[in-house]
Amino acid sequence: MATTAREEMRRFWERNERSGRPLSPHVSIYKWSLPMAMSISHRGTGVALSLGVSVFSVAALLLPEQFPHYLAQVRALSLGPALVCSAKFLLALPLCYHTWNGVRHLV
């Protein structure tokens, strides 16, 4: 009987890995294009946002105090408008990029 596709893939990878061939340069030599950069940024922002949400949720589960308490602590630090604004920008940027690029994928 002929082999299944999965079996053939497995054999290919086994032989390939056993031969210990070096990987030819790809990311380091290929000329970057806008679609490539946008695609990896979409993935990067997505992963970063996901991990951010997860960190927030786990913190919500573990930290003793409520959100307003910690917000008041941050406010008490009196960081100055420039720093607060930059922090908001750094939070909003990945979200907006991922959202708008996501719309581009959906359309």
Partner 1 sequence: VPAALLGSALLRRPAALGAAAARCAPARDSHGPPRQGHGGSKAASLHWTGERAVSVLLLGLLPAAYLCPGPAVDYSLAAALTLHGHWGLGQVITDYVHGDVPIKVANTGLYVLSALTFAGLCHFNYHDVGICKAVAMLWSL
Nearest CB to partner 1, comparing residues 13 and 37:
13
Determine if residue 98 is labeled as part of a ligand binding site.
Answer: yes
Among residues 47, 69, 68, 50, the alpha carbon closest in space to that of 58 is found at 50
Nearest CB to partner 1, comparing residues 34 and 61:
61
Token pair, residue 98, equals 């991922």
Q: In whole angstroms, what is the distance from residue 44 CA to residue 41 CA?
A: 5
Compute CA distances 62 → 47, 58, 94, whole Å.
22, 6, 26
Q: How far is the CB of 99 from partner 1 (least distance, A)?
A: 7
- Are residues 83 and 91 in contact, defined by beta-carbon separation less than 8 angstroms? no
Q: How far is the CB of 47 from partner 1 (least distance, A)?
A: 6
- Residues forming contacts to partner 1 in the complex (CB under 8 A) are 1-6, 8-9, 13, 43, 46-47, 49-50, 53-54, 56-61, 66-68, 71, 74-75, 84, 88, 99, 102-103, 106
Q: How far is the CB of 63 from partner 1 (least distance, A)?
A: 10
Residues comprising the binding site for heme?
98
